[in-house]
Chain A
Amino acid sequence: MSKQMMLEVTEVEPLTPLVTRFRFEHPEKAPLPIFSGGAHVVVEMPDGEMLRRNAYSLISDPNDASGYEIAVRREETGRGGSRYMHSEVTPGTRMRISVPTNLFALDPRARKHVLIAGGIGITPFLSHLRQLDLLQQPFELHYAARSRDEAAGLKLLPKSARIHVQISDEGNRMDLGEILTGQPIGTHVYVCGPEGLISAVLDVAARHGWPKGALHSEAFASPPPGKPFTVTLAKSGRTIEVSASQSLLEALEAAKVEIDWSCRGGACGRCETKVAACDGQIEHNDHWLSRDERAEQKKIMPCMSRFTGAALVLDL
């Protein structure tokens, strides 16, 4: 678990009908830890009986210790974290925020950075842009969104010939083949957005012979809701019910089972848990386990993954 700070919400600004910006400051205006571009924080939400923890990319200047800002897209079909942020959080609300962690850093060896964002996936790039400005490294940003309602970044992006926006409602499509050809040797590519965009970028890049080490991706995944299921803990014999709007990690936490975590988005590997027995199918929604590990069903990432079947026993 991360070190946390109790911060106060000082600004709530709707950027679009779907996306709202939140600013957090220290209640006594103490400086917050500075961070690196691409970092995220985990925000704790005491939602009724349930304690939710969602990870959000920081969109503010990494060198600005006066506050942290995030942009949250309202997900009507999510587990409820973003609805909580949109409906319950107002200026003056105090919330527990983790220290920043970075799983999507820029590679400073790059001669040039090509940033590709889809929808709310623009968020980590907003702090990357500040860092690139500081380091004075060449970049281009390609930002695709379905509609202007979704394109929260429009209000937050500087005007620059190096920033290209495509709104698909308006008939503009991102041409990945065009973006990924003709880049100078030593260019690194970063993509954040829906699964489809990430796999498309990685596919096109592979076809054009990009080295794997030059490709970086972050899915802005939050745990998907699903059907309720039950898990058994091998050591204590306890059974725990996971509701439709809960992740397995949240259900374990609600049952006071100690488990280590960091990103809560299936990327960092901290909550990896051994499976003692599995009669059924694990729905692996993480980016941590390999294809072989998924097939074996001997490990699960409780922050993201769910289960359907007769029995799942965890080595806890």
Chain B
Amino acid sequence: MTLQFNDETFRGDYSYFNTEHAIKRLPFPFDRDEYMYSVNIEAHPGGPKGSPFEFRFDVDEHYVSEMKDRAITLDDDPLRCQSLPHMELAGWDLLEIIMVSKAEDYPNLFTLHRDGNRWHWINRPLGIEQRFTFLDPTTLPCGPMEYITRQTQGDFALLHERDGNLWMDAGMVTSQADWSLDFDIGMNFFEWHAPVPKAKQMGVFDKALKFLLAMQQGQSYRRLNWTMTVNPRLDTSPENYHKWGPEKRTITPENVGRKQHLRIELQSFWRLPRSNAIAFPIRCYLACLEDICTQPKWGRRLHRVLRDIDPTLAEYKGFAVNQDMIVNYLSQFDDGAPTSPGIFPDA
């Protein structure tokens, strides 16, 4: 299949859309009719052909437009991309793993020629061709992490391991669910997770950190997370809360199906070989309630999950203000029938 890239926006007129193909391959984050935190980690990549789990770094119909949106956000606020001085090698690690993966997994879109440290990278969708010397930053237009993440969907955090903890010492963050790299940079695992309700008491973070520290190269993992966003906006940052926060008040019973989006994060974890750092890509998928409800199983399940969710989580995920309208809308898709286990839609 040849991938067609949508011409769409994630701000202003919000012309973002999912084709039927994109809807069917969404990584729907609920494997049952209820939700509570869990360390829901599985090996990555690996999954049905055509699913977003098939390849290491999923490239989909939104790729080109997402990269344009990232460039706009970075023009406004360069601090969305930061790398502390000791993280440059981890940046090269990330560049290597992404270029190698994309060239292997999408040979029609990306090509990488390597002759020792002399590399030649071709990115056809974005019209980029670059010859550079691996590990020599003067041969790229910007640092290695910035260079490759301007060409890769999703946010990226690079975590440095020391003193039995992980430290967020570099990142590219322009499509985030209300957190700020500029605020979190230099923090450790427990510090940057401090705002998450309930999880600490449940011991989730101790377990998660132990898991991450034990992670070895060649073994990568993923988990799904989610939140709710009004309008298909990638940049829901604290820095721009004044732009998107008030939009929550624009939801009406008439427009909720189009305007209210489920925001799904496909998070993955990679031990980087050269730097021993950990890469944490957070890939965002947006789908409006109407899109979700084209799949009967998902409509039923989303209704039950959002109706019965712990109120603290509805507040934390930012949709408590519209919860009644959302649940009312979804109820028309829930006939009470049982749902099948797992996240994939019924055939």
Query: What residues make up the interface of A, taking CB atoms closer than 8 Å to B?
Result: 2-3, 33-36, 39, 62-63, 99-102, 105, 107-109, 134-135, 213, 262, 268-270
Neighbouring B residues of A107 by C-beta, 8 Å: 86, 162
Neighbouring A residues of B347 by C-beta, 8 Å: none
Q: Are B276 and A135 in contact (CB under 8 A)?
A: no
Q: Are B89 and A33 in contact (CB under 8 A)?
A: no
Q: Are B274 and A109 in contact (CB under 8 A)?
A: no
| A36 CB contact (under 8 Å) in B210, B214, B219, B276 | B276
Nearest CB in chain A to that of B87: its residue:
A108
Is B105 part of the contact surface with A, judged by Cβ < 8 Å?
Answer: no
Q: Are B216 and A108 in contact (CB under 8 A)?
A: no
Q: Are B217 and A62 in contact (CB under 8 A)?
A: no
Neighbouring B residues of A39 by C-beta, 8 Å: 276
Is B78 part of the contact surface with A, judged by Cβ < 8 Å?
Answer: no
Q: Are B218 and A99 in contact (CB under 8 A)?
A: yes
Is B6 part of the contact surface with A, judged by Cβ < 8 Å?
Answer: no
Neighbouring B residues of A33 by C-beta, 8 Å: 217-218, 273
Chain B interfacial residues counted at CB < 8 A: 20
Nearest CB in chain B to that of A268: its residue:
B214
Q: Are B216 and A99 in contact (CB under 8 A)?
A: yes
Nearest CB in chain A to that of B169: its residue:
A109
Q: Are B217 and A270 in contact (CB under 8 A)?
A: no
| A34 CB contact (under 8 Å) in B161, B162, B273 | B273
Nearest CB in chain B to that of A188: its residue:
B162
In angstroms, Cα B89 to Cα A142, docked, is: 26
Beyond A2-B216, A134-B135, 20 extra complex contacts between A and B, CB < 8 Å: A3-B216, A3-B219, A33-B217, A35-B217, A36-B274, A39-B276, A62-B274, A99-B217, A99-B218, A100-B273, A101-B216, A105-B161, A108-B87, A108-B160, A108-B275, A109-B84, A109-B86, A213-B163, A268-B214, A269-B214
Query: What residues make up the interface of B, taking CB atoms closer than 8 Å to A?
Result: 84-87, 89, 135, 160-163, 210, 214, 216-219, 273-276
The residue in B160, B216, B273, B276 that gathers the most chain A C-beta atoms within 10 A of its C-beta is: B276
| A108 CB contact (under 8 Å) in B89, B135, B163, B214 | B89
A3 touching B218 in the complex, CB below 8 Å, given contacts A62-B274, A213-B163: yes
Neighbouring B residues of A34 by C-beta, 8 Å: 273-274
Q: Are A270 and B214 in contact (CB under 8 A)?
A: yes
Q: Are A36 and B163 in contact (CB under 8 A)?
A: no
Nearest CB in chain B to that of A3: its residue:
B218
Q: Are B273 and A36 in contact (CB under 8 A)?
A: yes
Q: Are A108 and B273 in contact (CB under 8 A)?
A: no
Nearest CB in chain A to that of B96: its residue:
A34
| A135 CB contact (under 8 Å) in B89, B161, B216 | B89
In angstroms, Cα B214 to Cα A62, docked, is: 20
Neighbouring A residues of B89 by C-beta, 8 Å: 108, 135
Q: Are B273 and A35 in contact (CB under 8 A)?
A: yes
Nearest CB in chain B to that of A105: its residue:
B276
Neighbouring B residues of A35 by C-beta, 8 Å: 217, 273-274
In angstroms, Cα B87 to Cα A237, docked, is: 50
In angstroms, Cα B219 to Cα A35, docked, is: 14
In angstroms, Cα B273 to Cα A269, docked, is: 21
In angstroms, Cα B273 to Cα A39, docked, is: 10
In angstroms, Cα B275 to Cα A108, docked, is: 9
In angstroms, Cα B210 to Cα A262, docked, is: 13
Neighbouring A residues of B161 by C-beta, 8 Å: 105
Neighbouring A residues of B135 by C-beta, 8 Å: 134
Neighbouring B residues of A100 by C-beta, 8 Å: 216-217, 273
In angstroms, Cα B13 to Cα A194, docked, is: 67
Neighbouring B residues of A213 by C-beta, 8 Å: 162-163
Nearest CB in chain B to that of A34: its residue:
B273
Q: List 28 A-B contacts (CB under 8 A).
A: A3-B219, A33-B218, A34-B273, A35-B273, A35-B274, A36-B273, A36-B274, A36-B276, A62-B274, A99-B218, A99-B219, A100-B216, A100-B217, A101-B216, A101-B217, A102-B276, A105-B161, A105-B162, A107-B162, A108-B87, A108-B89, A108-B275, A109-B84, A109-B85, A134-B135, A262-B216, A268-B214, A269-B214
Neighbouring A residues of B217 by C-beta, 8 Å: 33, 35, 99-101
Nearest CB in chain B to that of A216: its residue:
B162
In angstroms, Cα B160 to Cα A269, docked, is: 19
Give the shortest distance, in Å, between B90 (CB) and chain A (any CB): 9
Give the shortest distance, in Å, between A228 (CB) and chain B (any CB): 31
Give the shortest distance, in Å, between A148 (CB) and chain B (any CB): 33
